[in-house]
Chain A
Amino acid sequence: DTAVSQTPKYLVTQMGNDKSIKCEQNLGHDTMYWYKQDSKKFLKIMFSYNNKELIINETVPNRFSPKSPDKAHLNLHINSLELGDSAVYFCASSPLWGETSTDTQYFGPGTRLTVL
């Protein structure tokens, strides 16, 4: 009964490859997010989708492309991987967007990406 799940848990790949990370939430939430946590543990938002619509797109290289086939899924595709992309990527979801104060975000377990 995992709330927010991500696959794979670990991803090791060569520079220049294209890879995808999948995220699914079974909480019935409207909003999903992708965060990047670097080696210093700094957690930074990359994208946010609300009901399959992109609402936050931080300054992220266009090699990163999120895709939301439905509101329970938000996948992250990365083209031409670079060494600096190595990090832990977290998916999260929350019930609402911009309607009530302080929405709780529920995080997935993370995907550790290592680019060699």
Chain B
Amino acid sequence: TQLLEQSPQFLSIQEGENLTVYCNSSSVFSSLQWYRQEPGEGPVLLVTVVTGGEVKKLKRLTFQFGDARKDSSLHITAAQPGDTGLYLCAGEETSGSRLTFGEGTQLTVNP
């Protein structure tokens, strides 16, 4: 089973600050997804990256897939309280197979 390690596990910052969340593995993934989960809800897909070195932007969120497709990062610029939530990365071992989830990063953005 391929493991995904996320860091940090917990992050509490002030509104307006920037932050980066990391998702690392020793294994190669065919694709990697980032989800956000809010309390009492299921995870919701934010983005999927499939090509090594790929960078995708979603408003203030920037996602990057490592060149070797073993790691990914999520960077949030000028964080807002609405960004608060649990961020999960999930990797797909081979195309169309099961997802392996990271342990999650609990982000709290204080007003």
What residues make up the interface of A, taking CB atoms closer than 8 Å to B?
Answer: 4, 40-45, 48, 56, 90, 92, 96-110
Of the four ranges (under 10, 10 to 19, 20 to 34, 35 or more), the interface on chain B belongs to: 20 to 34
Report the Cα distance A98→B40, complex, angstroms: 30
Are B44 and A43 neighbours in the complex by a CB distance under 8 Å?
no
What residues make up the interface of B, taking CB atoms closer than 8 Å to A?
Answer: 30-31, 33, 37, 40-45, 48, 50, 86, 88, 92, 95-101, 103-104, 106
Contact among B86, B97, B100 for A98, CB-based, below 8 A: B97
A101-B42 CB under 8 A given contacts A40-B103, A42-B104, A43-B101: no
Report the Cα distance A107→B40, complex, angstroms: 12
Are B31 and A102 neighbours in the complex by a CB distance under 8 Å?
yes
Closest to A48 in B: B98
Given the complex, which residues of A lie within 8 Å of B100, measured CB to CB?
Answer: 45
A109-B41 CB under 8 A given contacts A41-B104, A96-B96, A98-B97: yes
CB-based closest 5 A-B pairs = A107-B42, A98-B96, A101-B95, A43-B101, A102-B31
A42-B48 CB under 8 A given contacts A96-B96, A107-B43, A110-B40: no
Given the complex, which residues of B lie within 8 Å of A109, measured CB to CB?
Answer: 40-42
